[in-house]
């Protein structure tokens, strides 16, 4: 699920991969919470290698976003494939999440 | 003391004056009536007022300057009424209120939106004057529904400790508070003696409680139990409800009138009854009270069912038990045969994947010629999802007792479920249809759900572009769900589905997809919805083969005529 993560200035960049589907949501959330330092509240998730995401894992991402926003932070989603993007459009979660075409664009937006 | 009737007149020359005029007048009303309006209430009124006046300026006067839009705002004890007058050529309200989907324009939406916010909208031409009357009742219908919002309290409690007496306690406490009665009781059938016995009560001594043993068919409780029909008794010695006090009572009766009694049912089986009697204020019970009690008893039954299920499966090991519970809850909540409504044919099915899912659909009749059709997909596939489904279903049915406007129904559902959903990282996508056969319309709200398919003659389209769609429930507490309205004609098809139907993949990664579904319905459109869905099911089985489903698949098909 988590391919790698690195700190870019004060922003945490996490690259996800594979199919994010039911059964993996608890681990996804736990792993993300573990690698994101308590002091960090801005996260960019690189979705370019995510093939598919279902509602259970979407729920985990919503939960993560909610807790980071409570700290005054934000989550950016970068480069989702067409299928993943369409899931955000159907659920209208595209109104809630900030979605960017590339990691660079997300990092640029967040660092400014 | 009842608030006085207050009437304020206004005169508006330009769009810039609308909001200040409204704010000034609503402030005066609130002061004179000594009444506090909720911010949501003011927001709703202001939106409707702004749209109404702007429309009168734009269409009524065709932007002609110096011609005023006049009117009054009147508040009585029960409602607020805004009357907007103009002298323009007017418009046909019917047309604006039921735009055809091909013709849904920006300008039509203003008036259309008003309808969502108000309880009543009247438009008439008197002499040369156009009169638009907007009414909204003060009683917030959501208040009563909110009182019933003990569901998640209950689901949490019974998951920790599946004890039916906890369910009884919560139900009685809440019912006492709502109906303001001194006496209430829950009677459950004891299968050993085949008699109804009191399992929980308020305002009754233990001696009386222990004495009550009612045979099915005997007395009011026995009658309600046997016939599975709720009953309102105004005068116990002189009633017209089909049972006779002298003949029916073999043992002593402890009831007094007026009373309401509602059966507790699980599927087609009665398990007991709930009685309420002796109102503190001495007022009679109404039909509305009876409906409310029926809702409560349905909810109680649902939770008792879950209690029993958990207890019965106690021996199984954790995960297997959880899956079994979830599956049973889901299955028990799918509707039986759809209601029979002249001019409308309905069918639905839900195929559960190997993993338990969170798909749900239902048909809820609304008077004789209308029906609510709901389809929902709860995220996750576990007991939490199944419990959420139980809550979702009960909340929806409760809200529909008070609120018929689909957009307000979803707003309330979202508000009621929000806390629970965020706690579990869950969300719900849902479409709620209200189909009115007499008016030939469908009004619907879409909260982040796969858009419906619409087929007329040989033309098909998905109802997404150009229609309002809101975010899934459980993400944004203040989400404003706006409904869509469309005229229907004979032989029109509406098809609702969950994402499983378009997302399930064969081993070779091929999906069935929306286009295939669309052409399948087209090809079989002479058949009834039930037959079409049956055929579709076998077609899907052939397509997917035995490896079949990774996600639930749910489909509802509606045909006019």
Phi and psi (nearest 5°) for B134? -115, 120
Residue B387 pLDDT exceeds 50? yes
Residue B432's beta-bridge partner residues?
B374, B445
Please report the ipTM that was assigned to this predicted complex.
0.89
> Which residue of chain B has the CA closest to A52?
B503
Round to whole Å and give the CA distance between B229 and B146: 26
Q: How confident is the model at residue B116 (pLDDT cuts 50, 70, 90)?
A: low
CA angle in degrees (0–180, nearest 5) for B294-B328-B297: 10
Residue B98 pLDDT exceeds 50? no
Give the closest-approach CA distance of A94 to chain B in angstroms: 9
Instruction: Report helix, strand or coil for B92.
Output: coil
Chain A contacts to B (CB-CB under 8 A): 22-23, 25, 29, 54-56, 58-60, 62-63, 66, 87, 90-93, 95-96
Structural tokens at position A51: 């093939």
Domain chopping of chain A, boundaries: 16-102
Q: Does B429 touch chain A (CB under 8 A)?
A: yes
Q: Does B216 touch chain A (CB under 8 A)?
A: no
Q: How confident is the model at residue B56 (pLDDT cuts 50, 70, 90)?
A: confident
Round to whole Å and give the CA distance between B61 and B69: 9
pLDDT of the residue at B99: 38
Share of chain B above pLDDT 70, in %: 78
Q: How far apart are the first and last CA of chain A?
A: 29
For B143-306, CATH gives 3.30.450.40
Residues in B closer than 8 angstroms to A87, CB to CB, are 499
pLDDT: is B171 or B355 the higher one?
B171
pLDDT: is B532 or B1 the higher one?
B532
pLDDT of the residue at B250: 40
Cβ neighbour number for residue B155 with a 10 Å cutoff: 21
Round to whole Å and give the CA distance between A22 and B292: 38
pLDDT of the residue at B342: 93
pLDDT of the residue at A91: 92
Round to whole Å and give the CA distance between B532 and B523: 10
pLDDT of the residue at B478: 83
Report, in this order, helix, strand and coil percent for chain A, each rounded to 5: 45, 35, 25
Interface mutation target, options B375, B446, B448, chain A, most CBs of A under 10 Å:
B448
- Across B439-471, b (16+ Cβ under 10 Å) vs e yields bbbbbbbbbbbbbbbbbbeeebbebeeebbbbb
Phi and psi (nearest 5°) for B237? -90, -10
Residues B401-428, mean pLDDT to the nearest whole number? 87
pLDDT of the residue at B297: 82
* Chain-centroid distance, C-alpha B3: 31
pLDDT of the residue at B94: 46
- Judged by phi (left if over 0) then psi (alpha if -120 to 50, else beta), residue B267 lies in left
Inter-chain touch B448–A62, beta carbons under 8 Å: no
pLDDT: is B39 or B144 the higher one?
B39
Q: How confident is the model at residue B314 (pLDDT cuts 50, 70, 90)?
A: low
Inter-chain touch B425–A55, beta carbons under 8 Å: no
| Residue closest to A44 by CA, chosen among A109, A102, A89, A107 | A107
Residues in A closer than 8 angstroms to B469, CB to CB, are 92
- Across B509-531, b (16+ Cβ under 10 Å) vs e yields eeebebeebbebbeebeeeebbe
pLDDT in tens, A86-101: 899 999 999 889 999 9
Give the closest-approach CA distance of A49 to chain B in angstroms: 18
Residues in B closer than 8 angstroms to A55, CB to CB, are 358, 377-380, 427, 429, 499
Residues in B closer than 8 angstroms to A60, CB to CB, are 425
Q: How far apart are the first and last CA of chain B?
A: 52
Round to whole Å and give the CA distance between B119 and B117: 7
Residue B527 pLDDT exceeds 70? yes
Residues B97-112, mean pLDDT to the nearest whole number? 46
pLDDT of the residue at A79: 96
> Which residue of chain A has the CA closest to B463?
A90
Closest partner CB to B422 (pick from A29, A66, A90) = A66
pLDDT: is B516 or A61 the higher one?
A61
- B335-560 belongs to which CATH class? alpha beta
- A16-102 belongs to which CATH class? alpha beta
Q: Does B499 touch chain A (CB under 8 A)?
A: yes
pLDDT: is B152 or A108 the higher one?
A108
Size of interface A-B (CB pairs under 8 A): 64
pLDDT of the residue at B163: 82
pLDDT of the residue at A102: 96
For chain A, residues with pLDDT lower than 50 are none
Helix residue ranges, H only, B426-512:
499-503
Q: Does B476 touch chain A (CB under 8 A)?
A: yes
Residues in B closer than 8 angstroms to A93, CB to CB, are 448, 471-472, 475
Residue pair B286/B198 in contact (Cβ under 8 Å)? The answer is no
Residues in A closer than 8 angstroms to B377, CB to CB, are 55
Domain chopping of chain B, boundaries: 6-139, 143-306, 335-560
| Residue closest to A57 by CA, chosen among A80, A37, A31, A28 | A28
Inter-chain touch A90–B471, beta carbons under 8 Å: no
| Least trusted range by pLDDT, from A33-42, B35-44, B260-269, B441-450 | B35-44
The reply to whether omega before B210 is within 30° of 0 (cis) is: no
Structural tokens at position A70: 């409570």
Helices B318-333, B287-312: axis angle to 10 degrees equals 150
Residues B491-495, mean pLDDT to the nearest whole number? 95
Cβ neighbour number for residue B551 with a 10 Å cutoff: 27
Residue pair B466/B488 in contact (Cβ under 8 Å)? The answer is no
Residues B46-73, mean pLDDT to the nearest whole number? 78
Give the closest-approach CA distance of A76 to chain B in angstroms: 16
Round to whole Å and give the CA distance between B260 and B289: 8
Mean pLDDT of chain B: 80
Round to whole Å and give the CA distance between B159 and B512: 38
pLDDT of the residue at B279: 84
Residue B109's beta-bridge partner residues?
none
Residue pair B416/B146 in contact (Cβ under 8 Å)? The answer is yes
Residue pair B363/B348 in contact (Cβ under 8 Å)? The answer is yes
Give the closest-approach CA distance of A72 to chain B in angstroms: 17
Residues B427-449, mean pLDDT to the nearest whole number? 95
CATH 3.30.565.10 fits B6-139, yes or no: yes
pLDDT in tens, B345-362: 999 988 776 555 688 999
The most confident of the ranges B84-93, B110-119, B430-439, B491-500 is B430-439
| Residue closest to B411 by CA, chosen among B105, B145, B135 | B145
Closest partner CB to A91 (pick from B358, B380, B429) = B429
Biggest alpha carbon–alpha carbon distance for chain B: 83
DSSP secondary structure, B286-324, as one string:
-HHHHHHHHHHHHHHHHHHHHHHHHHHTTTS-HHHHHHH
Residue A100's beta-bridge partner residues?
A78
Q: Does B452 touch chain A (CB under 8 A)?
A: no
Helix residue ranges, H only, B180-244:
206-211, 219-227
pLDDT: is B526 or B356 the higher one?
B526
Cβ neighbour number for residue B146 with a 10 Å cutoff: 15
| Least trusted range by pLDDT, from B22-31, B39-48, B248-257 | B248-257
Structural tokens at position B559: 């045909």
Q: Does B354 touch chain A (CB under 8 A)?
A: no
Round to whole Å and give the CA distance between B222 and B488: 45
Round to whole Å and give the CA distance between B176 and A60: 40
Closest partner CB to B471 (pick from A29, A87, A93) = A93
Considering Cα of B381, then B386, then B387, then B390, what sign does the dihedral take? positive
Interface mutation target, options B417, B475, B514, chain A, most CBs of A under 10 Å:
B475
* Cα dihedral B383, B384, B386, B390 in deg (nearest 10): 130
Residue B511's beta-bridge partner residues?
B505
pLDDT of the residue at B501: 65
| R_g (Cα) of chain B, nearest Å | 26
Residues B527-534, mean pLDDT to the nearest whole number? 93
Share of chain B above pLDDT 90, in %: 27
pLDDT in tens, B63-80: 565 678 899 999 988 889
pLDDT of the residue at B277: 87
Residue A74, C-beta contacts closer than 8 angstroms, at least 6 positions apart:
A41, A42, A43, A65, A68, A98, A110
Q: Which single residue is written with the structure tokens 């749209």?
A: B51
Give the closest-approach CA distance of A93 to chain B in angstroms: 6
Inter-chain touch B450–A54, beta carbons under 8 Å: no
Structural tokens at position B245: 């006090």
Give the closest-approach CA distance of A90 to chain B in angstroms: 6
Q: Are strands A11-20 and B181-190 parallel, antiparallel or unpaired?
A: unpaired
């Amino acid at each position: 699920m988590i391919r790698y993560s690195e700190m870019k200035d004060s922003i945490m960049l996490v690259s996800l991969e594979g199919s994010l589907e039911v059964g993996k949501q608890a681990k996804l959330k736990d792993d993300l919470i573990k690698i994101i330092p308590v002091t960090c509240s801005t996260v960019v998730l690189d979705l370019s290698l995510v093939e598919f995401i279902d509602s259970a894992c979407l729920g985990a991402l919503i939960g993560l976003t909610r807790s980071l926003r409570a700290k005054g932070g934000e989550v950016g989603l970068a480069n989702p494939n067409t299928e993943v993007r369409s899931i955000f459009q159907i659920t209208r979660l595209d109104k809630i999440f900030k979605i960017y075409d590339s990691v660079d664009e997300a990092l640029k937006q967040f660092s400014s | 003391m009842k608030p006085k009737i207050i009437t304020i007149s206004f005169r508006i020359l330009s769009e810039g004056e609308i909001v200040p005029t409204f704010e000034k007048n609503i402030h005066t009303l609130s002061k004179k009536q000594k009444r506090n309006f909720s911010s949501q209430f003011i927001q709703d009124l202001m939106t409707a007022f702004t749209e109404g006046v702007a429309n009168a300026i734009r269409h009524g006067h065709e932007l002609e300057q110096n011609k005023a839009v006049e009117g009054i705002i009147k508040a009585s004890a029960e409602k607020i009424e805004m009357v907007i007058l103009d002298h323009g050529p007017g418009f046909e309200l019917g047309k604006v209120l039921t735009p055809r989907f091909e013709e849904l324009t920006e300008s039509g939406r203003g008036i259309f939106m008003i309808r969502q916010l108000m309880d009543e909208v009247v438009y008439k031409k008197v002499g040369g004057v156009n009169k638009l009357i907007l009414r909204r009742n003060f009683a917030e219908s959501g208040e009563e529904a909110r009182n019933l919002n003990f569901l998640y309290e209950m689901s949490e409690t019974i998951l920790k400790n599946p004890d039916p007496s906890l369910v009884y306690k919560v139900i009685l406490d809440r019912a006492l508070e709502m109906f303001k009665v001194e006496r209430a009781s829950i009677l459950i059938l004891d299968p050993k003696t085949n008699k109804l016995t009191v399992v929980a009560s308020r305002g009754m001594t233990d001696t009386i409680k222990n004495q009550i043993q009612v045979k099915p068919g005997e007395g009011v409780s026995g009658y309600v139990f046997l016939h599975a029909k709720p009953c309102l008794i105004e005068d116990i010695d002189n009633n017209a409800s089909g049972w006779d006090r002298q003949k029916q009572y073999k043992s002593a009766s402890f009831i007094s009138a007026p009373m309401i009694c509602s059966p507790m049912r699980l599927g087609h089986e009665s398990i007991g009854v709930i009685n309420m009697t002796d109102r503190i204020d001495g007022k009679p019970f109404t039909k509305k009270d009876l409906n409310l009690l029926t809702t409560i008893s349905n909810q109680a039954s649902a939770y008792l069912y879950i209690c029993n299920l958990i207890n019965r499966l106690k021996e199984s090991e954790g995960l297997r038990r959880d899956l079994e519970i979830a599956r049973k809850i889901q299955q028990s909540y799918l509707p039986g045969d759809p209601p029979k409504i002249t001019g409308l044919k309905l069918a639905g099915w839900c195929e559960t994947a190997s993993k338990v899912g969170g798909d749900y659909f239902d048909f809820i009749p609304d008077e004789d010629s209308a029906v609510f059709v709901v389809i929902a997909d709860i995220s996750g596939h576990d007991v939490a999802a199944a419990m959420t489904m139980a809550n979702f279903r009960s909340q929806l049915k409760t809200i529909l007792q008070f609120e018929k406007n689909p957009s307000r129904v979803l707003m309330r559902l979202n508000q009621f479920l929000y806390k629970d959903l965020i706690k579990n990282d869950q969300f719900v996508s849902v479409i709620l249809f209200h189909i009115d056969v007499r008016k030939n319309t469908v009004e619907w709200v879409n909260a982040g759900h796969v858009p419906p398919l619409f087929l007329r003659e040989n033309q098909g389209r998905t109802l997404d572009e150009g229609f309002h769609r809101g975010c899934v429930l459980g993400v944004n507490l203040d989400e404003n769900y706006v409904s869509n309205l469309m005229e229907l004609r004979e032989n029109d098809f509406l098809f609702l589905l969950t994402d499983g139907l378009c997302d399930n993949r064969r081993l070779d990664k091929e999906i069935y997809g929306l286009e295939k579904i669309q052409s399948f319905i087209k090809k079989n459109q002479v058949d009834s919805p039930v037959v079409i869905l049956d055929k579709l099911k076998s077609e899907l089985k052939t397509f997917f083969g035995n490896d079949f489903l990774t996600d639930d698949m749910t489909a509802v098909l509606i045909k006019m005529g």
